[in-house]
Amino acid sequence: MDSCTSDNFKVFIWYEEIVLAVLLPTDINFGNLVKYVWRKLNINDANAILLSYNIGETKTTLHNDGDVDVFKTLALKTPFHVQTLVVDHASHTPVVNLVQQTQLRLINVNCLPLPPPSPTFHYNEKKGGMKVNDMFEDKETCIYDISFKCLQEKYQFYVTSSSTTRYNVKCRQAECNWHINCRRVGVTDRFKVSSINDKHLCSKIVFNPNHRNAYAKTLARIISPKLADPTRVYRPKDIVHDLNLDMNIDVSYKRAWRGRHLALESNQGYPKASFGQLALYCHNLKLANRETVTHIETDEASRFKNLFIGFGVAPLIIIDAAHLKGLYQGTNIVAVGMDGNNQILPIATGVAQSETAESWISFMRKLKECIGDVPNLAIISDRHYGITAACNAVFPNAFHGYCCRHLMLNTKMHSDTLKYSPDDDLSEWATAKVNARMAKSANWKVMGIDKDRVYEVRDTKKHHIVDLEQGECTGRQWQLSGIPCGHVCAVGRFAGLTSVKKLAKDWFYNTTLKGTYKDIIYPLKDVTLWDTPDDIQIVSRPLATKRAAGRPKKRNRIPSQGEVPTRMSCGRCGGPGHNRLTCNAILVKEKVCYKRPASKGPAGPSKKARVMEGSSNQNNSNADEAPNSSQPEEQSNSSQPDIHLLSDFATPADFLQ
């Protein structure tokens, strides 16, 4: 074996899973290097190969003798670091002048250090990946699968062509031949892979962490399972953090917010479609829960005004309203009951356009149709003027009290404490009260007046008469609270009763507490299994909303030095200067969309610019047309765009699919 000399330089040749340590002569050129690699690796001359190496994290490809000279210079300048020559298949063979082959000498392996780890360059060829004739349900699923594949593999692509019948993508790097072409199958909505090259010739080190193919719709499908629980608070900054940890990609806050918005719409439905399904939902809710009462109030044009859904009744009713923050806003009106354990019982709920006296009166009238005239009815609410007017008009004989705080936010359920409690025993709170009174009355003196019925009890200060048969004590604590007072506990000990807990009122027993919640509000089946009657009520979405109550925020803040103001636009009304959370605009007009012209031409202004231009032309039409008032009306209308309402393209049947 020959030893290492100054006429040679050390090189590792890496091909697939093979690593060879060789000595190359310093006078080798590109043609001899290619022929040597062919012979050393037993590669057929007809197969094209690609030679490359890495400088730090940059990939460099060999194409001619000049590239080989640079490679040799780097290898000779760093004798303690052996360069690695990467060999891979290529789509073409570089045009080279194959000179006379130089006699290459064999190497002495003892002169070389251990092989380095595998270089970062590689191509992707996953088992079980995409292949020709793979099917997708529709084009949206096709786009998602391709985008998710590239997010996992840390590559990026751009769309070469996209239409209703095809979807073609290619790797973003120009030297890479990776591509996927998909076509629609016949007249169906399904797509299939018509051709694919799943081998990347580019390196992952070129990857930009801010992935260009992390579309909002793709993110929506990724995070949709995490938003299935409606009680979970999943903020956009949490989405950005999770995507960075799970998939090692960075997305902007705006894109994460958009993906979360689409995921919520996918899980909970679309606001516009909900009005079309409202009557069908109420019909099936009454089929699942026979005693449920529903009512939808609309105007003359069948547009939504108020909704009422009643589940049950209790003598104590707490009513309140909360503002909705959706596209059409509105107010959620609710009526609940509370038991002795401060737990909430749902009674009725509804939706109105705003919290007014009219909406409260309509809600209370429907509530009265369900419960009738209840004696000793008590209504607790806040001091809204509409609630006071509704109570005086609908329930004039009921007690109307005001709460100091929002009772619904101050109650907390502890139903787990009843799981292992005996049904014939008092609740945990009542048991503690009785035990404390038993200990307090241990030394009180008891005298029997009427055997097994009337007793006199002397405590440290006064004396009282206890009548067990009538359930009365002159101290009146037993009658008012329902729990045996200290005098009754002393009588029970004197009379030899096994337990004075049986003298408590029925509503303190676990059986009564559990029986309060025995009724079930059954959920509905999937929307595709709903019963659809022929005479279903038609409900359309409301056109306008009332401006929210309260004083607008002050915007007289003094800007900081050098601060550049940013212009924001609302996602609800499209107006500038605010967002959808602070939007108080009244939606009195339909949103419009412009029909795309049939013939293709040069790129014109954007859709938003066309809308603004159209509105400005309409405002100035009187001034412009005054000199030419004799022109026919058809000529002035010919330049206007063809406008269609969005409601023309969407029907309730489309949303139920």
- Token pair of 579, please? 């967002």
Give the helix ranges, DSSP H, for 269-329. 271-288
In whole angstroms, what is the distance from residue 499 CA to residue 497 CA? Answer: 5
pLDDT exceeds 60 at position 117: no
Structure token digits, residue 102: 């130089």
C-alpha to C-alpha distance for 320 and 316, rounded to whole angstroms: 14
Nearest-CA neighbor of 154 among 88, 196, 211?
Answer: 211
Return the exposure string of 578-612: e unless at least 16 CB atoms fall within 10 Å of the residue's CB, then b: bebeebebebeeeeeeeeeeeeeeeeeeeeeeebe
**What percent of the chain has pLDDT above 70?**
72
**Contact of 135 with 185, CB cutoff 8 Å:** yes
Segment 548-568 mean pLDDT: 76
Q: Are 349 and 332 in contact (CB under 8 A)?
A: yes
Instruction: Name the more confident of 22 and 204.
Output: 22
pLDDT category at 142 given cuts 50, 70, 90 is: very high
What's the whole-number average pLDDT of the chain? Answer: 73
Q: Give the number of other Cβ atoms within 10 Å of residue 54's Cβ.
A: 16
CA distance 461 to 476: 16
Q: What does DSSP say about strands 157-162 and 58-61: parallel, antiparallel, or unpaired? A: unpaired
Measured CA to CA in angstroms, residue 288 lies from 281, 291, 522, 608 at distances of 11, 9, 6, 47
pLDDT confidence of residue 211: 81
**Longest Cα–Cα distance in the chain:** 133
The two structure tokens encoding residue 512: 């009564």
Judge contact between 370 and 310, C-beta under 8 A: yes
Say if CB 178 and CB 201 are below 8 A apart.
Answer: yes
pLDDT-derived band at 168 (thresholds 50, 70, 90) equals very high
Q: Which residue has the tokens 């209504």?
A: 379
The single-letter DSSP state of residue 184 is E
User: Alpha-carbon distance 362 to 557, whole Å?
Assistant: 43
Q: How far is the first Cα of the chain from the last one, in angstroms, to the nearest whole number?
A: 77
pLDDT at 67: 82
Concatenated DSSP letters for 16-35?
A: TTEEEEEEEETT--HHHHHH
- What are the beta bridge partners of residue 473? 466
Dig out the tokens for 621 from the structure. Answer: 């039409």
Nearest one of 443, 541, 438, 529 to 485, comparing CA atoms: 438
**Residue-range domain boundaries for the chain:** 8-111, 135-268, 273-410, 426-508
The pairing of beta strand 157-162 with beta strand 49-55: unpaired
Percentage helix, strand, coil for the chain under 3-state DSSP, each rounded to 5: 30, 20, 45
651 vs 277: CA distance, rounded Å: 10
Q: pLDDT tier at 204 (50, 70, 90 boundaries)? A: low
- Average pLDDT (573-597) is 64
Distance set, CA 176 to CA 125, 157, 403, 456 (Å):
14, 10, 70, 101
Angle (deg, nearest 10), helices 486-495 and 428-440: 70
In the structure, what pLDDT confidence band is assigned to residue 344 with cuts at 50, 70 and 90? Answer: confident
CATH number of 8-111: 3.10.20.90
Model confidence pLDDT, tens digit, residues 257-303 = 999 989 988 888 877 778 888 888 888 888 888 778 888 888 888 88
Please, what sign has the CA dihedral across residues 383, 388, 389, 391?
A: positive
Q: Sorting pLDDT into bands at 50, 70 and 90, what band is 20?
A: confident
Sheet strand arrangement including 454-458: 445-450, 454-458, 463-467, 472-473
pLDDT band at 183 (very low <50, low <70, confident <90, very high): very high
